[in-house]
Amino acid sequence: MSKQKFPAGWDEQRVREVLAHYESQSEDEQFAEIEAAREGLQRTFEKVDQYAAAHGVTPEEAEAAVEEAMEQVRRRRG
C-alpha cells in the first residue's frame, strides 16, 4: 500500500481531527457554520468592491490584487 500524501501543513492526525469535528456537529451547528462562512464571503466581496472604488479599478482588477496579496502572505508563512 502506498503512503498517503497530504497538502502542506496537513497530516493524518489533522485530517482525523477535522473529520471528528464535522461528524460531531448537530444540524444546527452545521447550519450556523455555513451561514457564518456565507457572511464572511459577502464581507469579502464588499471589501473588494470598496477597494476597487477607492483605487479606480474594476472589481476584477481588485480581485487580482487581493489574490496576489494573499499569495504573498501564504509564501511568507511557508
pLDDT tens for the 78 residues of the chain, in order: 567 899 889 999 999 999 999 999 999 999 999 999 999 999 988 998 998 999 999 999 999 988 999 899 999 987
The number of CA neighbours under 13 Å toward the Cβ of 3 is 3
Q: What local confidence, expressed as pLDDT, does residue 1 receive? A: 55
The DSSP code sequence of 47-58 is: HHHHHHHHHT--
Cell numbers at 54, concatenated: 477607492
